[in-house]
Chain A
């Protein structure tokens, strides 16, 4: 594929290949662009082509107490989940990588398994457990559920960093007289920080956009933003949903940029 000396001026096969891929990229990105168009469209129903630019849907979204309560609940839950899953996930990753635990592969697979089990079943199982134990549906139950599905992301990104870094740096610090505690706080922790942060960003997004796990665990009037949007969309498809979607998308995009800055996206591609 490197520029061959006898390269022909026009390569139909190559052009078709590039055109096909451009088309597929458009398929991935256009729907999201269209949401932006509808968020700024002033007509009361979804209409195409757009007839102007207005912020009325953003006003409706930010002016509705139902949406705002849900947005704040989602942000609050996601923030708590972020902190909890960073602490729990990073500790777990350190134990898996450095603890000389027997059956490490099995344990790692176990801690990844919430990603393998259908999320709606995690929600159902927790709903049943809360029902049987008479806990009801408190917010901490929702936070625990989100933490459970967020922790694997932190474990994965932290493990990726731990596998890549040179253990001799820690050994050198120990040889030079640092105590194990000091080695941990001054060498290991700063080195794994990008992985932990990246995992935390995923944890936040996973919680903020979480639907299937939340579905059975929220109470009426105490619903998270995705659940409120879902219920609204069953009956109404106006621009307020588009505006709410834009707010979520902007949040996600800023997160992608933060990620790129922190570790580079490549580290994440190891699915």
Chain B
């Protein structure tokens, strides 16, 4: 460690990226954190003073909306994660166990293609499906199954449906890697010992894929609690999440200091999740011999 591996001249190639990251990533986040402890803009306003009042405003929540916003952010994230897991697991299992290379490539393409379609576009797609005059309500009314449109959008339900659609590919890709690494012969052995297909799955494959389930869930949770486009378009006036609150503070209330405090709070929540995610991935990489 001492003098065996000295940095080679190639190491200098890291400089441009380092510069960009310090100037446009490290510094801005430092500025955001500092701003959250100031009463105003410390550069233009000489009277700006250090304060913790933005955090107090959030913690004591006299307006009565901040705790509810935090809670609904977490609730939407949690439900989105659970549904993504239920939808993503069968697809990932199918993909990981598929014999045909062509079939595998096609399914993979089908999973990745939505990922490459912007969030705004995919949210629009769900608006055309779920709105009062959308595909589902029109069809159901034409068939005479319902009298008036079902409230599918401008609420938490619509928000979660669209979020699941947007983030389920991340779940599938994380799970496929993990399930693919589980030796298929373990399941076959269980079955030849008399276990049914379902039992072999529940008692062998499912427990072995648990780290993948955790990693995928944390990823989807971290992504969905920081979503802005989908809740603000699909949620209507019913849904207020932390990212929406931040955008409000910047856009309409023009209170960048309070926005900074909300940003720090959201950052802490997601960093905690990311640390857990990395722990699990590291254990996954280290524990390959368990199968």
Contact = CB atoms under 8 A, between A and B. Distances in A.
B109 A265 contact: yes
Most B Cβ at <10 Å: residue of A28, A114, A126, A151: A28
Given A230-B233, A242-B128, A94 B13 contact: yes
Contacts, number: 273
Interface-central residue, B90, B123, B125, by most chain A CB under 10 Å: B125
B14 A99 contact: yes
Given A94-B10, A234-B233, A215 B247 contact: yes
Contacts of B120: 209, 211, 226, 229-230, 233
Contacts of B123: 233
Contacts of B190: none
B233 A233 contact: yes
A249 B124 CA distance: 12
Contact of B256 (A13, A131, A147, A256): A131
A62 interface: no
Contact of A48 (B108, B135, B256): B135
B114 A100 contact: no
Given A87-B16, A117-B267, A34 B125 contact: yes
Interface in B216-265: 219, 222, 225-226, 228-229, 233, 243, 246-247, 250, 256, 259-260, 263
19 contacts: A18-B94, A48-B134, A48-B135, A99-B7, A102-B7, A107-B14, A122-B25, A125-B29, A132-B41, A132-B43, A209-B116, A209-B121, A215-B247, A248-B117, A248-B118, A249-B121, A256-B109, A260-B109, A269-B173
B177 interface: yes
A265 B105 contact: yes
Interface in A235-271: 237, 241-242, 244-245, 248-249, 252-253, 255-256, 260, 265-266, 268-271
Contacts of A114: 25
Nearest to B111: A28
A151 B124 contact: no
A100 B31 contact: no
B267 A118 contact: yes
B208 interface: no
Nearest to B36: A128
A223 to B, nearest CB: 12
Given A32-B125, A100-B11, A129-B31, A215 B117 contact: no
Interface string A109-125: 11101101111111011
Nearest to B95: A21
Q: Is the interface of B mostly helix, strand, loop or mixed?
A: helix
Contacts of B271: 116-117
B193 interface: no
Given A21-B90, A21-B91, A34-B128, A128 B28 contact: yes
A251 B245 CA distance: 33
B226 A13 contact: no
Interface size class of chain A, counting residues whose CB lies under 8 Å from the partner chain: 35 or more
Contacts of B99: 1-2
Given A31-B122, A35-B124, A118-B270, A230 B229 contact: yes
Given A95-B13, A242-B124, A29 B114 contact: yes
B90 A38 contact: no
A102 B8 CA distance: 11
Interface in B181-196: 184
A32 B114 contact: yes
Nearest to B244: A120
A94 B14 CA distance: 8
B113 A256 contact: yes
B32 A125 contact: yes
B27 A88 contact: no
A48 to B, nearest CB: 5
Given A132-B41, A256-B113, A151 B20 contact: yes
B177 A269 contact: yes
A178 interface: no
A133 B263 CA distance: 19
A212 B127 contact: no
Nearest to A268: B112
Nearest to B16: A88
Nearest to A129: B28
Contacts of A185: none
B124 A233 contact: yes
A20 interface: yes
Contact of B138 (A48, A107, A248): A48
